[in-house]
Amino acid sequence: MIAIEGVGKRFSGRDGGAVQALEDVSLTVAPGEFVAVVGASGCGKSTLLRLIAGLVAPSAGRVAIDGAQVTGARTDTAMVFQAPTLLPWADVLKNVTFPMRLMRRAGPGTEDAARALLARAGLAGFEGRLPRELSGGMQQRVAICRALLQQPRILLMDEPFGALDALTREEMSLELLRLWTESPMAVVFVTHSISEAVLLADRVIVMSPRPGRVVDDVAIPLPRPRSFDQEGLPAFQAAARRIRDHIFRGQAARAAA
Ligand SMILES: Nc1ncnc2c1ncn2[C@@H]1O[C@H](COP(=O)(O)OP(=O)(O)OP(=O)(O)O)[C@@H](O)[C@H]1O
């Protein structure tokens, strides 16, 4: 469904210098697959998501969805950014329904669906609040609800739980898995947490330090539904160790250079 073929991305700086963020990245994601991406800070994970979302264009190679080259934002793709990016003047319910209204996809059931999602995210009773009246973690949960309400075929998530406290993060991870099982969408999920990647994903893509390349593609053979109890299983630990080894090897190589 998503095909990334030999993609490179080079950014030109204002000072005339250039940054090679990604180099020769190839990767496919099947419909309904949950793929996590891990790698050192600055290795191009967010750039990879923005390329899939059509928010930036590759400098080399090609990104295609269902065989068609991605040339801009698509209505079947939703993205959750590291920061919640809510409309400050709109209440929680209006924020969650905003993209649906913008795309003229809002119908009679949209508000009810939004309220149901907010309730599942622990935000029942906050529908009429403004973003500034919520904590950072609550705002991020609103942003996640906003993406899920669109029932996207492709959900791109850039460290979506980074701003959440550990407990809420665990709850939201399992809730995301439940929602994904109910309406399967392809998910590409960027995280710094190896255990979060293994817990959630069918496959974990490991990237090298900048310029980011794919150094491993680790299948996670754990049964679903997933739970935190699985963290003790040998298959969980073997996958986590394999990913960690790649990341530390990359960091050690960078330190020695
Ligand atoms: N718009 C831009 N203009 C110039 N350089 C950019 C731009 N966006 C990203 N970069 C550079 O590209 C590299 C990769 O950035 P990116 O945000 O994709 O990394 P990341 O792996 O998501 O990092 P982190 O884990 O810290 O969020 C970095 O060196 C960054 O400075």
How far apart CA 76 and CA 169 sit, in angstroms, is 26
Helices 136-149 and 92-102: angle between axes, nearest 10 degrees:
30
What is the whole-number distance in angstroms between the Cα of residue 53 and the centre of ligand 1?
15
> What is the tens place of the pLDDT at every residue in 11-56?
988 787 899 999 999 999 999 999 999 999 999 999 999 999 999 9
Phi, psi of 155 (to 5 degrees): -115, 120
Does residue 119 carry a pLDDT above 90?
yes
pLDDT in the model for residue 35 = 98
Where is pLDDT greater, at 216 or 137? 216
pLDDT in the model for residue 177 = 92
- Where b means 16+ CB within 10 Å and e means fewer, 210-245 reads bbbbbbbebebebeeebeeebeeeeebeebbeebee
Query: Which ipTM value was assigned to this complex?
Result: 0.97
Contacts of 135 (CB under 8 A, 6+ apart): none
> One-letter amino acid identity for 111?
E
Which atom of ligand 1 is nearest to 82's Cα? Answer: 27
Does residue 5 carry a pLDDT above 90?
yes
Give 4's strand partners. Answer: 27, 63
What is the whole-number distance in angstroms between the Cα of residue 14 and the centre of ligand 1?
15
How far apart CA 25 and CA 188 sit, in angstroms, is 15
Distances (CA, A) of 144 to 80, 85, 121, 147, 243: 6, 11, 9, 5, 27
Burial (Cβ within 10 Å: 0-12, 13-18, ≥19) of residue 49: buried
Does residue 143 carry a pLDDT above 90?
yes
What does the pLDDT average to over 208-214?
Answer: 93
Does residue 251 carry a pLDDT above 80?
no
Q: Which residue's CA is minimally distant from atom 3 of ligand 1?
A: 11
Which atom of ligand 1 is nearest to 44's Cα? Answer: 18
Q: Record the pTM.
A: 0.94
> What is the tens place of the pLDDT at every residue in 166-198?
888 888 899 899 889 988 799 999 999 999 999
Domains of the chain: 25-76+152-257 (3.40.50.300), 85-151 (no CATH)
Count of residues for the chain? Answer: 257
Pocket-forming residues, ligand 1, beta carbon under 6 Å: 11, 13, 19, 21, 39, 41-47, 210
Per 3-state DSSP, what percentage of the chain is helix, strand, and coil (rounded to 5)? 40, 25, 35
